[in-house]
Amino acid sequence: MGSLMALASGLIFGIGLIASGMTNPAKIKGFLDLFGAWDPTLALVMGGAVGMAMVAFARAKRRSVSWTGAPMEVPAGTAIDRRLVLGGVLFGVGWGIAGFCPGPAIVAAASGVPAALLFVATMLIGMTVHDRWLSKRA
């Protein structure tokens, strides 16, 4: 049941990304071009996502089990530390340069977009290097 819910959620998310144009790097770069041909569409998509997440997290906090029967685990961390800030900066720089963030990149890669395939490959390499570096530090 959990895998079916994950598949359905992923499909709905991917369709939403395609429908909103968020798999197109030009859309993202247009949003980040504040002094040029600024495209506010991403702000509307983000606003909708934040609104939905606020409702979902508020409801999740009142539950002890998920729809699939698994224990409900809502993140409790609120600390803003150096790792979080550095990760956010690296994410933002990569997003601005490539025009992709992980979700839309995976959707675009599944569609066969060459730039997205390269992005996803380098993202996976970066994640592997990061995990190995963290495991050596522990």
Percent of the chain with pLDDT over 90: 36
User: If you average pLDDT over residues 73-78, what whole number do you get?
Assistant: 82
Give 5-35 pLDDT, tens digit per residue: 889 988 998 898 889 888 888 888 888 888 8
Q: Which residue has the higher pLDDT, 123 or 136?
A: 123
Spatial separation of the C-alpha atoms in residues 21 and 84, rounded to whole Å: 28
Spatial separation of the C-alpha atoms in residues 44 and 99, rounded to whole Å: 17
63: closest CA among 55, 51, 71? Answer: 71
pTM of the model as a whole: 0.74
Give 90-112 pLDDT, tens digit per residue: 888 888 888 888 989 999 999 89
Spatial separation of the C-alpha atoms in residues 96 and 98, rounded to whole Å: 6
Could you state, in order of their start, the residue ranges of all structural domains in the chain? Answer: 2-137
DSSP three-state, residue 29:
helix
DSSP 62: T
User: If you average pLDDT over residues 113-123, what whole number do you get?
Assistant: 93
66: closest CA among 16, 13, 8, 1? Answer: 1
Whole-number Cα distances in Å, 16 to 13, 56, 89, 90, 103: 5, 17, 26, 25, 11
The pair of structure tokens assigned to 38 is: 């600024």
Amino acid at 34: L
Percent of the chain with pLDDT over 70: 100
